[in-house]
Chain A
């Protein structure tokens, strides 16, 4: 029992790290622009494919390929914002919503036509398995947790202690006031999309090595990402971190104590339960 519990907690931490990487990207975009960026899952998928090309086709080392993917996805995210979201920024919110759905279809169809419908798996250098007590964990899974911790810590430092980070936080709190005090909100918006997409690229690369990358994976990623976001509080980075961990752990412990048949239901069930008692999410309204 104790051995299984340790294993399930470890499993939950790994998946929680993955959800955090996705949700943090969604969260900073929502915090600044209040846009439901449904195409974020597709950006994660593109990030996975970029790493796949560099690693499997061009022989670039995994970590270097992931860094290249982060840069390219950051540029891709900025392009999406400039070409698709910015034209509807001042339109009714439904327009951004429809644009986001349109982007999902465009990107998913494009990737299907390029790569086909079948999954691809990124070759990873992390092949060892470690035993901690009676629990087992692969080095790739440990790397997933480590990458999440490092990137989230870097993001927090950036947001708290750099001028640009403070500009992002200011824009997130009040866009008009930020303009008045001389913050270039267009630059802030580009930074936010670039950062969010770079986080997405890391998530896509790691999940592509741990499991697989395929053109329709974005929908599921977006669903989970928004579940974390709503649970943690829209636009809150601490909320995304805590929400990701709660969902990762709940899925695995729920499978252990109740049934694996409802594994995917647990994430949404816990979200609903928490929203009943805290309608704005765990960190809603405080985390910005």
Chain B
């Protein structure tokens, strides 16, 4: 009996641990069905478990949905051929080592030469260095991960849809100063490069405008008990609190700030949706909370493409899309647009060049700010506008745009890339 139970447990484990693997190995394209359609295999590497899953799973949903719609419509044409897409998906567990290992498996074993996904900055940064140096013919197109150096290390085969954190941090710092805040405490996920960079730029601009930082407290990815940081921050008697971090962690900071009797303004950089915050905090605890972020999936501030995407996402998954998922959606659009413009699905260098030469296409969901008339700047980076949202009556409401100069930031990123060469 004991052996039977043990055997059953082992079988269950093997089945379960085998579930996350990719599919059969083959080259990145292959002939398909009756009508001469070919199947294009695209890699997907993202945080499907671990702390980054809160951003990675919605990215997976968006990319799956985009290619499902594309395949059901008969595929897409490049040159005289029609392609349908098969995704080869691996979970990087939000961990840099796992991410590199999954990437090597995707390229060396599964034979893919284009990889989408990438929500967690730490994992993405680790892989960009590997792909940039060891796999010059592989195209890594990043979705949500916002750490600056991902597109400032000078790798020609790495591009990103989401603007870097510092670009938004500059604008956010000016906004908070303009709000009349003079004395601010920071409780942030400052060991994470994205939030550290955003905060550095935020503080520079805030202090330039005459503000002072009363106290800086740090929490780690995965932390949920922030009482000690909150107690220290509140002891400095700040006028407002600034919270950069993952949505889950930030939501706990907001809830616990209110539990500690703090009823002042809170500014955050999280990219979280209403549903994600309300899972942790009550609508009352969320009142007077701002989020200072790139425009992301704030559908009211976007156009018809974004509305169609949001409706399709909700119909497919029975839940609203998280704000970051739209980056993944647009990354899939970028890939198809790039292939069609380059006239190839295999030559990744030609696809990247085509993307860097084109203005923002009409098919995308987000609103981008072109640099010198181009969607992707020479570093493979795109820029959107930034906005301030305020949580009011149970939902995020648009407050105003946060002005930022994409051309200036692009030049700054270029200077970093040149210094890193």
Contacts and interface: CB of A to CB of B under 8 A. Distances in A.
Interface of A: 1, 3-4, 7-8, 11, 14-15, 82-84, 86-87, 102, 105-106, 109-110, 112-113, 116-119, 121, 129, 131, 136, 138, 210-212, 215-216, 220, 251-252, 255-256, 259-261, 263-264
Nearest to A138: B259
B16 A4 contact: no
Given A119-B248, A211-B252, A216-B50, A255 B279 contact: no
A188 B73 CA distance: 65
Residue of A210, A211, A220 ringed by the most chain B CB atoms within 10 A: A211
B236 to A, nearest CB: 9
A7 B262 CA distance: 14
A82 B2 contact: yes
A136 B261 contact: yes
A264 B2 contact: no
Contact of A129 (B57, B220, B259): B259
Contacts of A105: 13, 17
Contacts of A106: 9, 12-13, 16
Contact of A109 (B17, B53, B220): B17
A210 B227 CA distance: 12
A119 to B, nearest CB: 6
A86 B280 CA distance: 41
A212 B54 CA distance: 14
A241 B264 CA distance: 38
Contacts of B224: 211-212
B309 interface: no
B48 A109 contact: no
Nearest to A217: B222
B225 interface: yes
Given A8-B231, A83-B6, A260 B217 contact: yes
B191 interface: yes
Contact of B16 (A7, A110, A251): A110
Given A129-B261, A252-B227, A87 B6 contact: yes
Residue of B13, B54, B57 ringed by the most chain A CB atoms within 10 A: B13
Contacts of B191: 261
Contacts of A215: 49
| Chain A interface, >50% SS class | helix
A105 B220 CA distance: 24
| Chain B interface, >50% SS class | helix
A113 B16 CA distance: 7
Contacts of A15: 225
A220 B9 contact: no
Given A117-B49, A256-B231, A260-B218, A110 B12 contact: yes
Contact of A117 (B2, B5, B53, B220): B53
Contacts of B6: 83-84, 87
A8 B17 contact: no
Interface string B163-199: 0000000000000000000000000001100000000
Given A11-B228, A121-B280, A212-B280, 18 more contacts: A11-B231, A84-B9, A106-B16, A109-B17, A116-B57, A118-B53, A118-B57, A121-B279, A136-B260, A210-B225, A211-B225, A212-B224, A216-B49, A255-B217, A255-B228, A263-B220, A263-B223, A263-B229
B416 to A, nearest CB: 26
Contact of B229 (A84, A136, A138, A260): A260
Contacts of A11: 225, 227-228, 231
A45 B409 CA distance: 45
B19 interface: yes
A109 B13 contact: yes
B219 A260 contact: yes
A8 B50 contact: no
B259 A136 contact: yes
Contacts of B217: 255, 260
B308 interface: no
B235 A212 contact: no
A113 B19 CA distance: 9
A276 B224 CA distance: 31
Given A117-B48, A212-B224, A4 B17 contact: no
A117 B57 contact: yes
B288 interface: no
